Amino acid sequence: MTHPTEGETRTFERTFTVEDVRQFADLSGDDQPRHTEPDDDGRVMVQGLLTATLPTKLGSDNEVLASTMEFNFHQPVYTGEPITCRSTFDTVIERDDRYEFVSDVVCENSAGETVLTATTEGLIWKDE
């Protein structure tokens, strides 16, 4: 893991499947019909918190320990729809043993429409 740098952006893309949504419904208990019954195109709506795993995945890649995550859901995400998530380090403060940061997150569908924005505050421990 390289140290975080202000202005640095990291990206992850994922397309959720009906099976992903079903498994998350089983795990979370969020099994309302919109997440379990396909529409005329065979899609189901992805749970908001499942969509929020995209910035969580980026955090995991960077060994982030988040202290605060604030999500804003702008529009639904459906299975079969590629979602690209970009996380940009807005501020980074270096301490003796860690980096403290704030990052801004934007997730968009393939049409370039924002589906989720987030702000994450946390830390990344320095390698010993």
Tokens read off for 125:
């421990």
Which tens digits make up the pLDDT trace of 17-39? Answer: 999 999 999 999 999 999 989 99
What mean pLDDT comes out for the span 5-27? Answer: 96
**Domains of the chain with bracketed CATH:** 9-16+46-125 (3.10.129.10)
Residue closest to 14 by CA, chosen among 70, 61, 77: 77
The pLDDT value given to residue 1:
56
The residue assigned the tokens 């370039």 is 112
Tokens read off for 53:
């795993």
Which tens digits make up the pLDDT trace of 52-110? Answer: 999 999 888 888 999 999 999 999 999 999 999 999 999 999 999 999 999 999 999 99
Alpha-carbon span 65 to 87, nearest angstrom: 15
pLDDT band (50, 70, 90) for residue 3: confident
DSSP per-residue letters across 93-127:
EE-SSEEEEEEEEEEEETTS-EEEEEEEEEEEEPP
Residues 6+ apart with CB under 8 A from 115: 51, 73, 74, 75, 76, 77, 83, 107, 108, 109
